[in-house]
């Protein structure tokens, strides 16, 4: 009887649990239905990112505990996007399409203008033979020599135009480059004026002097070469001499660099600064900023406001004095917190260095053993890196977590770097340098760190040149660069002549001395 009671009690307990789980599932389904009216869930493959930010990418998700498990979790991820995010995505797509159309339109117009410039001298030489071949005077030896001159000058002009104007674009600027547009208009007006003169003075009258027509074409090619020389001076040589010293400061952590720039417009100066930023500035790490923010929030949480009227006067003064004493000791807390952090970093670093040295020692031992094996049994660097990586993974993960760099390095990138070091016979110190010292932005994953879109904010027109005291901003997703320009001062140098005879002296010795 007692066993039957226990069994019936167990069944009732299971029934109650099933009823609670069913009611909980109903509640979850209702809450999901209610939330589905405000957001849209989109499944994205990992190879096609939706936004420029890494938080919304469909990349393979990495396990935070790869130091213990040494596995990577891959697959598609689900992202919840609101209606505002979808509108922003649509706007970014429209802007990118507009920029691509403008870039291709500019390139198409440049190609058309270049073809027109190169075919014009040839057309000047061919049209008389097609329209009035019977009226042309015979071309002598000097005239035939001009053919070679035109051919080689056109070849030189073609190579020069290709080398100067048809380079891969570095960026998409917000405004048109003023000097390039000016040169294009100048070349177009120049070719049109030559065609007008050719039509009026040669085509209409059908000039029989073919030698003069050839000299006219040669003069056009010479003028085009001089215009190309002008383009080299305005586009390349003018900006070489430093005229301004710009101070670039990152808004989040205050990292500062100084550069010397020449006579550039604001938008081209911004482009040069972005290129320097990717190679000179240490990578932006938001995790280091979150620690200072949490410390400030903790400090503000310790401040309390008391109602003086509701308490006794002596009691309220005592409480305010106690709060002031706690506030005055915050610098001690900061000091000991930083000292403890430095101690932990040194400890993790020592463990990491020992683990890496042991792993590389094992690699050398494996290489000595593989030299005795047959060529088919030799292990490639990728397999060797995967074999020794688990021995250092835990120490490396703990160090990266302590220094807030765990999101900068994935397990796959670490293994690739380890295989690269093994292939090139690098030392353990060379392998650890990428993790002990934060490197520039270009050292890390391109999709993670390179911002595709920068916003230039300037009170002056971006096509105007740099001036003394010019200030403008470059904004991306997480931070902004504040740029202040100062003109390099004029240096006045004078010369002081020193007479060579002034360095001569006479040593007079007395006769009483022992010298």
Q: Round to the nearest angstrom and report the end-to-end CA distance of the chain.
A: 133
Among the listed ranges 160-174, 381-395, 497-511, which one has the minimum average pLDDT value?
497-511
Q: What is the mean pLDDT of the chain?
A: 76
In a domain, 504, yes or no: no
The backbone torsions φ and ψ at residue 482, rounded to the nearest 5 degrees and listed phi first, read: -100, 120
Q: Which of 437, 472, 501 is the last residue of a domain?
A: 437
pLDDT band at residue 94 using 50, 70 and 90 as cut-offs:
very low
Query: Cα(75)–Cα(334) distance, rounded to whole angstroms?
Result: 42
pLDDT band at residue 375 using 50, 70 and 90 as cut-offs:
low
Q: Which residues contact 225 (CB under 8 A, 6 or more apart)?
A: 153, 156, 157, 160
Residues 366 and 458 in one domain: no
Residues 113 and 204 in one domain: yes
Query: The tokens of 99 are what?
Result: 């920029």
Angle, in degrees to the nearest 10, between helices 330-371 and 286-301: 150
Judge whether residue 56 has pLDDT over 60.
no
What is the predicted pLDDT for the residue at 43?
Answer: 31
The backbone torsions φ and ψ at residue 252, rounded to the nearest 5 degrees and listed phi first, read: -80, -45
Burial class of residue 485 (count of CB atoms within 10 Å of its CB; 0-12, 13-18, 19+):
buried
Query: Cα(147)–Cα(41) distance, rounded to whole angstroms?
Result: 69
In a domain, 445, yes or no: no
Of 350 and 47, more confident: 350
> Chain centroid to CA 280: how far?
10
Burial annotation 355-393 (CB, 10 A radius, 16+ → b, else e): bbbebbeebeeeeeeeeeeeeeeebeeeebbeebbeebb
Residues 394 and 459 in one domain: no
Of 169 and 92, more confident: 169
Instruction: Provide the number of structural domains found in the chain.
Output: 3
Residues 162 and 227 in one domain: yes
Residue 158 CB neighbours (<10 A): 13
In a domain, 150, yes or no: yes
CB 486 within 8 A of CB 260: no
Query: The tokens of 313 are what?
Result: 């006067």
The DSSP secondary-structure symbol of 477 reads S
Query: Cα(179)–Cα(45) distance, rounded to whole angstroms?
Result: 44
Query: Cα(9)–Cα(450) distance, rounded to whole angstroms?
Result: 64
CB 435 within 8 A of CB 398: no
In a domain, 306, yes or no: no
Residues 176 and 159 in one domain: yes
Residue linked to tokens 């006769």? 511
Residue 397 CB neighbours (<10 A): 22
> How much of the chain, in percent, has pLDDT values that exceed 70?
67
Three-state SS string across 195-208, please?
Answer: HHHHHHHHHCCCCC
In a domain, 181, yes or no: yes
What is the predicted pLDDT for the residue at 289?
Answer: 73
Query: The tokens of 169 are what?
Result: 């674009």
Residues 186 and 234 in one domain: yes
pLDDT tens figures, 130-149: 888 888 888 888 888 888 99
Residues 251 and 363 in one domain: no
Residues 188 and 216 in one domain: yes
In a domain, 444, yes or no: no
Rounded average pLDDT over 265-289: 88
Query: Cα(378)–Cα(373) distance, rounded to whole angstroms?
Result: 7
Residues 101 and 214 in one domain: yes
pLDDT tens figures, 389-446: 888 889 998 998 888 888 888 888 888 999 999 889 889 999 998 888 888 877 776 6
Query: Cα(353)–Cα(392) distance, rounded to whole angstroms?
Result: 9
In a domain, 72, yes or no: no
Judge whether residue 229 has pLDDT over 90.
yes
Range of the domain at 382: 287-291+332-437
Rounded average pLDDT over 104-117: 85
- Note the pTM of the prediction, 2 decimals: 0.67
Half-sphere exposure of residue 56: CA atoms within 13 angstroms, side-chain side: 15
Q: Which of 209, 224, 239 is the last residue of a domain?
A: 239
The H or E element spanning position 42 is strand 39-44
Among the listed ranges 64-78, 125-139, 448-462, which one has the minimum average pLDDT value?
64-78
DSSP E strands in 363-500: the ranges are 455-458, 471-475, 480-487
What is the predicted pLDDT for the residue at 288?
Answer: 76
Residue linked to tokens 């135009």? 161
Residues 140 and 205 in one domain: yes
In a domain, 414, yes or no: yes
What order of strands is seen across the sheet that includes strand 244-250? 256-261, 244-250, 480-487, 471-475, 455-458
Residues 339 and 214 in one domain: no
CB 330 within 8 A of CB 410: no
Residues 99 and 170 in one domain: yes
């Amino acid at each position: 009887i007692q066993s039957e009671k226990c069994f019936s009690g167990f069944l009732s307990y299971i029934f109650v649990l099933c009823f609670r789980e069913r009611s909980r599932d109903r509640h979850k389904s209702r809450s999901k239905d209610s939330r589905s009216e405000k957001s849209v869930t989109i499944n994205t493959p990992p190879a096609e990112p939706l936004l420029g930010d890494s938080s919304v990418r469909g990349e393979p998700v990495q396990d935070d505990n790869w130091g213990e498990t040494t596995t990577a979790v891959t697959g598609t991820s689900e992202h919840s996007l609101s209606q505002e995010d979808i509108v922003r995505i649509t706007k970014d797509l429209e802007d990118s399409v507009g920029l691509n159309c403008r870039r291709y339109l500019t390139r198409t117009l440049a190609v058309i203008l270049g073809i027109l410039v190169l075919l014009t001298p040839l057309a000047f030489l061919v049209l008389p033979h097609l329209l009035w071949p019977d009226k042309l005077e015979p071309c002598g030896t000097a005239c035939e020599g001009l053919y070679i001159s035109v051919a080689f000058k056109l070849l030189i002009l073609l190579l020069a135009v290709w080398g100067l104007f048809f380079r891969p674009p570095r960026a998409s600027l917000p405004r048109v480059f003023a000097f390039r547009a000016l040169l294009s208009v100048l070349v177009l007006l120049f070719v049109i004026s030559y065609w007008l003169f050719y039509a009026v003075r040669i085509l209409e009258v059908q000039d029989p002097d073919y030698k003069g027509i050839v000299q006219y074409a040669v003069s056009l090619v010479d003028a085009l070469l001089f215009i190309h020389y002008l383009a080299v001076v305005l586009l390349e040589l003018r900006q070489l001499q430093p005229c301004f010293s710009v101070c670039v400061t990152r808004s989040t952590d205050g990292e500062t660099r100084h550069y010397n720039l020449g006579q550039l417009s604001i938008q081209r100066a911004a482009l040069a600064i972005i290129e320097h930023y990717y190679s000179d500035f240490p990578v932006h790490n938001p995790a280091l900023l979150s620690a200072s923010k949490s410390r400030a929030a903790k400090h503000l949480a310790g401040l309390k406001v008391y109602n003086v009227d509701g308490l006794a006067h002596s009691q309220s003064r005592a409480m305010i004095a106690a709060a002031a004493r706690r506030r005055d000791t915050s610098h001690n807390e900061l000091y000991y917190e930083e000292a403890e952090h430095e101690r932990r970093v040194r400890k993790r670093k020592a463990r990491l260095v020992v683990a890496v040295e042991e792993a590389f020692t094992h690699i050398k031992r494996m290489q000595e053993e593989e030299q005795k094996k047959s060529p088919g049994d030799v292990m490639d660097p990728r397999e060797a890196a995967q074999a020794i990586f688990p021995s250092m993974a835990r120490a490396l993960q703990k160090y990266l977590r302590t220094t807030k760099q765990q999101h900068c390095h994935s397990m796959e990138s670490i293994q690739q770097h380890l295989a690269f070091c093994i292939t090139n016979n690098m030392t353990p110190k060379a392998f650890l340098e990428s993790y002990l010292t934060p490197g520039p932005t270009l050292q890390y994953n391109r999709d993670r760190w390179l911002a595709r879109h920068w916003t230039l904010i300037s009170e002056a027109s971006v096509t105007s040149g740099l001036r003394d005291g010019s200030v403008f901003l470059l904004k991306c997703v997480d931070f902004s660069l504040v740029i202040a320009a100062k003109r390099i001062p004029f240096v006045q140098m004078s010369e002081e002549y020193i007479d060579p005879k002034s360095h001569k002296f006479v040593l007079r010795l007395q006769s009483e001395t022992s010298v």
